[in-house]
Structure formats: structure tokens, C-alpha cells
Amino acid sequence: MNWDALLDETLWINIAIVVGITLVSYLVLRAILGIVTRRLSKLATHSKTHFLGIAAELLARTSHLLILAFSLLIALKTVELPARWESTMSHGWFIALAFQLALWMDTGVRLWMESLSRDGKARNPVTTTIIGIMIRIVVWTMMLLSILANLGVDITAMVASLGVGGIAIALAVQTLLSDVFASLSIGVDKPFEIGDFVVFGEVAGTIEHIGLKTTRIRALSGEQVVVANADLLRQIVHNYKRMATRRIVFKFGIAYHTPTEKVKAVAALVKRIIEGIEIARFDRAHFLAFDDSQLTFEVVYIMQVSDYNQYMDTQQEINLALLEGVRELDVQFAFPVRRVEFIGGSFPEVTVAGLPQETPDQGASPPQPPRDAQPTA
């Protein structure tokens, strides 16, 4: 060991300079970072800008160890170092910067996941978790590969082998992956969410859970329906939870012998009834067609609320008012009528209690006494 080098006064002066500049730089960087973070937080609070709040959170979660590393690298620039040390410092700058960028991106992903569940419930927690994990894996993988490439490691073979392995795994679990990507599509596009009432095919129920592979629906009849995410997205899904209004069409009929003036009065009666209901908007009421045994009316109105129970209450109110109003107009509702016309031939035999009913023969003579009977004097 070269003890003379350790006793060199210049070496200790350089070490003292590096230590001093490192401490000063560390304190200055932390102070600047704190001031900027506080200013961004105040601006985000006053302007209610979500981006400024995220930027403030990212700066607040900056690694102090990496700040110290940056301070040391700054201090090393003030002294003369051998060429080998200069190359090492350049690698150190890149590694520290790559780690800090990866930490900021990881923090951004975490903040995004927290923002989705800030109201106490994530709309699709499984999909949010999957997307967050995938993004974080990509971030840290790219950081590791970039550091290895900066250090002179050949990463071509590593990337190629990762690609081949990924293809093989994808082919082996392609059914599972199709459902996983369908789950991600549901989470990103949001055709429905937990709590929505949906109808597709013969299934009608409320979404209970959106999982990695399947979606679970509580049917109206009480049982739980489990359907694969990929199969679910291939169908036409009716989401009634997002229905703002409801268009209602119903028909009724009156008797054929109703006069024309009263037919017009029935249409006006329907309009007056519906316009008197606050949550219903009248659209039209027309004498539609001459059907079997009735003159058919078609009525259309728009419910201003989507609740099904309120719709049924409104329809009942309309029906009761229509029943009362039609009776006041002395108009009869139609009922099925069938007429049979008999032409030619003879009437069928009429039976009573299963026995043929005897009819007297109009051309028959009164009964005669027996031949051997003698008249009396």
C-alpha cells in the first residue's frame, strides 16, 4: 500500500472539497425541491388543476438518496480525476437519472391508481390493478435494459429471447389472454361498470364483479350468472343504468260502433291525461288501425326518469284515468267478438245433459186403441 499517497496534502484537500460541495449541493437541491413542491401544491389548491397536484406529489416523492448521488457527482466535477474515473462518472450520471425517472413514473402510476379509487370505490379495481402492474413492469424493465446498454452489455440476445418466450407463453394461454385483454378493454372503454343493470341475450341482471377472466351478474331471478369477458364483449349489451329517459309505447282499442266525434275525443283525452303527469312528456296519440273487433289507438310518451318502478306507477295512473275518462265519454272498450253464420243444411242435434232432446212429430196421428178392444155402450 502506498502510504505516501495517503499522506499527500493535495488528496485530502480534494476530498474535503468534494465532501463540502456534496453537502452544500445536497442542501441546496433539497431546498429548491421543497420550495417548488410547496408552490405547485398551492397553485394546485387554488386553481384546482389535477396536473399540478400530480407534479407536486412526484417532486415530493423524489428519492433523497438519489439527490445525494447527484450532489456527489456535481462535487466530483470540481476536482481533477483520471480518465477512467471520468468514464465511471458518466455512467453514474446515467444510472442515477434512469433510477429517478423510473421512480417518478412509478409514482405517477400509483397516483393514477389512487385517483381512480379516491371516492372509496374503484369502478373496475381488477382492471386498474392489471394496467398499473403492466405499466410498472414496462417502466422498470426499460430502465434495467437501458442501464445495461449504457454499461456496455449486449442486450440484443436478451430482448430476442424475451420476445420468443413471450410468444410461446401467449400461444399456450391464448384463451386466458383473450379474456384478460377483454377485461382491460372493459376497464378502459367502460361499456358498463359495477352496479349497472344490463341485458344481453337471455340474461338480465346487475353487474356484481368484473374480474380478470369473467364477469359476474346477479340475475333478476336471483342466481349469479358467470360469463367470460371475451364472450360478453361479442354480444350486444343493453345498459339500462345509463338510460336518461324511457320511451313508452302502448295500445288500446274501443268498440266499432263508437261515433267519429267520440273517437276524436278519446285521442284528446289521452293527451290531456299524459300532459297532467309531471314526469311524463306526451309525444303522440293516434287512431292507428281497424283491427279485429276494435278501433286501435297507439300512444307514445317519454318518461323523464329511467326508474322502472316509477314508469310502472305512471302507466298505472294513465290506465286508471283512461278507464274513468272513457266511461264518462260513454265509450266502450273493445273485447273479442266472433260471429258464426250458418247457411244451408240442417241444424245439429241439440243435447241436454248428454241425451238427445225429443221433438214431437207435427204430422203424426193420435194413438189408436188396440184392434181387439171393443167399444163400450
Residue 297, beta-bridge partner list:
252, 287
CATH number at residue 205: 2.30.30.60
**pLDDT higher than threshold 60 for residue 375:** no
pLDDT at 6: 54
Does residue 318 or residue 116 have the better pLDDT?
Answer: 318
- Pair 234, 250 in one domain: no
pLDDT at 124: 59
3-class DSSP state for residue 230? helix
Nearest to 185 by CA among 120, 107, 126: 126
Task: Report if residue 123 sits inside a domain.
Answer: yes
**pLDDT higher than threshold 60 for residue 203:** yes
Task: Report if residue 268 sits inside a domain.
Answer: yes
Task: Report if residue 267 sits inside a domain.
Answer: yes
Domain boundary residue, one of 210, 226, 242: 242
pLDDT at 314: 95
pLDDT at 292: 85
Task: Report if residue 19 sits inside a domain.
Answer: yes
Domain boundary residue, one of 328, 350, 366: 328
- Pair 144, 266 in one domain: no
In this prediction, what percent of the chain has a pLDDT beyond 90? 25
Nearest to 321 by CA among 291, 280, 364: 280
- Pair 45, 179 in one domain: no
- Structure confidence by residue, pLDDT tens digits, 163-183: 666 666 665 556 667 777 788
Domain boundary residue, one of 227, 242, 257: 242
Q: How confident is the model at residue 312 (pLDDT cuts 50, 70, 90)?
A: very high
Q: Tell me what the mean pLDDT of segment 82-109 comes to.
A: 73
Q: How confident is the model at residue 373 (pLDDT cuts 50, 70, 90)?
A: very low
Task: Report if residue 355 sits inside a domain.
Answer: no
Query: Across all residues in the chain, what is the average pLDDT?
Result: 78
**pLDDT higher than threshold 90 for residue 70:** no
- Pair 39, 125 in one domain: yes
Task: Report if residue 199 sits inside a domain.
Answer: yes
pLDDT at 207: 92
Does residue 374 or residue 128 have the better pLDDT?
Answer: 128
- Pair 136, 44 in one domain: yes
Return the minimum-mean-pLDDT range out of 213-222, 272-281, 336-345, 364-373: 364-373
The tally of domains found in the chain comes to 3
Q: How confident is the model at residue 224 (pLDDT cuts 50, 70, 90)?
A: very high
> What range does the domain containing 75 cover?
3-150
- Structure confidence by residue, pLDDT tens digits, 268-293: 999 999 999 999 999 999 999 998 88
CA dihedral 163, 166, 171, 177 (to 10 degrees): -130
**pLDDT higher than threshold 50 for residue 376:** no
Task: Report if residue 94 sits inside a domain.
Answer: yes
- Pair 67, 20 in one domain: yes
- Pair 141, 22 in one domain: yes
Task: Report if residue 358 sits inside a domain.
Answer: no
For residue 61, CA distances in Å to 18, 64, 107 come to 26, 9, 8
- Pair 254, 128 in one domain: no
**pLDDT higher than threshold 90 for residue 12:** no
- Pair 15, 125 in one domain: yes
C-alpha cell at 84: 477512467
Residue whose C-alpha cell reads 379516491 in the numeric block: 118
CATH number at residue 322: 3.30.70.100
What pTM was estimated for this model as a whole? 0.50
- Pair 103, 140 in one domain: yes
- Pair 93, 180 in one domain: no
As separate numbers, helices (DSSP H) first and strands (DSSP E) second, the chain gives 11, 10
- Pair 56, 139 in one domain: yes
pLDDT at 109: 80
Does residue 189 or residue 119 have the better pLDDT?
Answer: 189
Highest mean pLDDT range out of 48-62, 116-130, 316-330, 332-346?
Answer: 316-330
Distance CA 335, CA 308 (A): 29
Tell me the pairing of strands 294-303 and 280-291: antiparallel
Q: How confident is the model at residue 206 (pLDDT cuts 50, 70, 90)?
A: very high
